[in-house]
Each structure stands twice: as C-alpha cells, then as structure tokens.
Amino acid sequence: MLAKMPKFRARPLNKKTLERANQHADTSSIDSSVQSCDGLFSFLLSFSFFCTSHSQLHLLFYSLQERGLEKEKQLAKQVLYKELEEERARIPKANPYPYTTDFPVMPPKPELKQCITPEVFQLESLIRHEEELQRRMDEKEKAEREDAQQRIFRAQPILRYDPLPLPERGRRPLIEVQEFALNADHRYSKNRVS
C-alpha cells in the first residue's frame, strides 16, 4: 500500500501538528460506537495514518484536514455573505431628496379640495327592467278589459230590411212515392183470374 502511494516532498515539521497526532493516536480515544460503513472506513483510514511511522503521512493527513476545514469555513462565509446580500436586496432603499442648498427645499402643501358630493345616477339596465314591467302590466290590463267587454251580453237588432238581399233558392218538386211491385201480388192476381 505504501509503495502505491505517491511520494511527497517533506515540509518543515510543526510541533503543534505532532502533538495533535500523538493525542489522536492514543488508543484510548478509539471510538467503538462507529456503526455506518462510511464512518468505519474513514475511521480505519485515519487510524492507519496514525499507526504508520512516517511523519510525512501524519503531516499530509493533517494538512489535508486543515485545508478541508479552511474550505468549509470559506464556503460558510460565502453562504452567509450571499444571505446578507439577498436580505439587503429585499429591503428597498429610499432615495433622499437631493440637497441643492444648505436647507432642504420643502414643497408647498397642495390646496384642500372641496368635498365631492355624489350624484344620483340610474342604471340603464334598471330603467329597461322597469319599462318592461310597465309594458307587461299595461298588456295584462288591456287583455282583462277586452275580456270583460266580451263577457257583457248585448242584444243585436233584428234587420227587417236587408240592404243586400240574397236570391231565393228554387224549390224542387215533391217526390212522388211509387209503390213496390211485388211478385206475390202478381201471383195472387193470376190465381184469382184463373
């Protein structure tokens, strides 16, 4: 495993990092409650770094860890800065009146307007509705009057002299009734003669 790892240039030793490495390498600090696979893998990897005798690996691990912490801090700062910028953008800023003189020019107050009195108005639809109702009532009354007049009985005068006389119809002659010629009568008359 060590043969496959790339070789790094040695950096000057820092006593603080060595002290930290010694503190972390203490076997009493091993956490036996690591349950997840990712946590177990990172724990074993860090423990293998601590167990090696090469100080370069310790320094590499801690330099990587410090770099990761710095990146996390920078990311947190960027997120906080963006949130502050968004809050500032949300709050509108009032543009003050530009000062052209020592004292600001106050615009004069406008004159008070007279109170507006509401005018009476009529809706066209309401007017049309009323006209339609009135028309229907008139038609109903007219129909009732005509019906009442038709119910009144009035005797019609008898016309003695017809101004337009019709021609009289010619009467047909009366029908002459012919008796039936029965065979029985013929037989009777024949028998009587003989």
Which sequence spans correspond to the domains of the chain?
15-26+36-90
Average pLDDT over residues 73-89: 92
63 in Cβ contact with 21 (< 8 Å): no
Among 27-36, 100-109, 113-122, 176-185, whose mean pLDDT is lowest?
27-36
Residues 136 and 129: their CA atoms lie apart, in Å, by 11
Nearest alpha-carbon partner for 59 in 109, 108, 9, 99: 9
Task: Give the span between the Cα atoms of 182 and 193, in whole angstroms.
Answer: 17
Higher pLDDT, 72 or 18: 72
Query: Does residue 53 have a pLDDT over 90?
Result: no
CA distances from 47 to 38, 44, 125 (A): 14, 5, 91
Task: Identify which has the larger pLDDT, 117 or 53.
Answer: 117
**Would you say residue 116 has pLDDT above 70?**
yes
Look at the chain and count its residues: 194
CB 60 within 8 A of CB 8: yes
d(CA 71, CA 67): 6
- What confidence tier does 27 reach under pLDDT thresholds 50, 70, 90? very low
Percent of the chain with pLDDT over 70: 65
**What's the pLDDT at 28?**
45
Query: Cβ distance 57 to 49 under 8 Å?
Result: yes
The pLDDT value given to residue 45: 55
Q: Which amino acid is at 16?
A: K
Residue 176 predicted with pLDDT over 50: yes
